[in-house]
């Protein structure tokens, strides 16, 4: 799979941008602070350089992973790469792949398609994992919902950009 590093870089910034808006005290920041038990006092003791730096690195990992989920062309390559003639111009496999890409065109390379996959990942992977952790940590369900909605929005936008 070839990555478009401009889109990867843009997607890496999405969690930060959405986070600044979403977790603003005028949006859901106040409710998040109350549900998570974070106070202005505890925020003052945080090393924001490390937090933002680590967040960007983790966002890069998420971006690369999302890119692999939203671009179906990689699935065809991974299915065919062990077959005789893969990568050999004029071979049966090469011709089949060329024809498959010609038929599908860019039908699955749209913002909407990527946003659908990002939403799906948020709803059916991220939310259940967060909810399970928060249940065992005895965190408020409201916190789970606040954070899950943030990630669903964020992953939808990242998926849309990366597709």
- Flag whether pLDDT at 2 surpasses 70: no
Q: Is the separation of the CB atoms in 38 and 46 below 8 Å?
A: no
Torsion 31-32-35-39 (CA) sign: negative
- Flag whether pLDDT at 35 surpasses 90: yes
Structure tokens at 25: 């005290």
Per-residue pLDDT tens over the stretch 70-101: 887 666 777 777 778 888 888 888 888 888 77
Band of pLDDT at residue 55, cut at 50, 70 and 90: very high
Provide the 3-class DSSP secondary structure of residue 88: coil
Per-residue pLDDT tens over the stretch 105-159: 667 789 999 999 999 999 999 999 999 999 999 999 999 999 999 999 999 999 9
163 secondary structure, DSSP code: -
Q: Is the separation of the CB atoms in 22 and 146 below 8 Å?
A: no
Q: Where are the domains of the chain?
A: 5-71+108-162
- E strands along 60-113, which residues? none
Write down the pTM of the prediction: 0.85
Q: Is the separation of the CB atoms in 162 and 7 below 8 Å?
A: yes
Classify residue 102 as exposed, middle or buried by CB count within 10 Å of its CB (0-12, 13-18, 19+): exposed
């Amino acid at each position: 799979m070839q990555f478009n590093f401009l889109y990867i870089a843009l997607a890496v910034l999405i969690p930060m941008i959405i986070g600044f808006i979403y977790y603003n005290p005028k949006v859901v920041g106040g409710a998040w602070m109350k549900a998570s038990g974070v106070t202005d006092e505890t925020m003052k003791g945080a090393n924001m350089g490390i937090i933002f730096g680590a967040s960007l690195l983790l966002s890069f990992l998420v971006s690369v992973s999302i890119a692999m989920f939203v671009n179906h062309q990689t699935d065809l390559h991974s299915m065919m790469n062990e077959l005789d003639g893969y990568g050999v111009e004029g071979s049966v496999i090469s011709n089949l792949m060329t024809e498959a890409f010609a038929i599908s065109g860019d039908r699955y390379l749209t913002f909407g398609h990527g946003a659908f996959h990002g939403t799906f990942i948020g709803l059916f992977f991220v939310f259940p994992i967060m909810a399970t952790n928060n249940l065992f940590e005895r965190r408020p369900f409201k916190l789970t919902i606040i954070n899950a909605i943030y990630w669903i929005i964020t992953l939808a936008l990242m998926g849309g950009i990366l597709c």
